[in-house]
Amino acid sequence: MRWSGEPRDGCQLCSAERMTDWHFEDEACWVADCVVCATPMIVWRTHGLPDEDVERDLLARLEKVAEARYGREGFWIDPERRRIPDHWHAHARPAGGFFDPASPLYGASWRPRSSR
């Protein structure tokens, strides 16, 4: 089984605390600014990893928010779950960057982890 309908104790994404601006929410997901990078981040409400069809629908929601912020060609989708790998989420990052200009980390150098 790839998912669990039960919130996981201690999971920051399951708790869905409103720590930043929220842009969208429905019964399946929510989109808010990430507390670390300030980019729009979509979170599936179910703890775990969705199937491909659900993931495609979720990413379409994120793209609408990202397009409103960065413009049609002004973003890229980062699906890597670095800090919370077992709860599906993805970020919309500004084209050519990692952090949103609103983040205090904007301008910091960032390099993707090498794949081994």
pLDDT tens for 5-16 read 556 777 889 988
For the chain, the straight-line distance linking the first and the last C-alpha, in angstroms and rounded, comes to: 26
Q: Taking a C-beta distance cutoff of 8 angstroms, is the pair 100, 94 a contact?
A: yes
Dihedral sign for Cα 100, 102, 106, 112, please. Answer: negative
Which pLDDT tens digit goes with each residue over 42-77?
Answer: 999 999 999 999 999 999 999 999 999 999 999 999
Which pLDDT tens digit goes with each residue over 103-115?
Answer: 888 877 665 554 4
Whole-model pTM over 0.75: yes
| Averaged pLDDT of the chain | 88
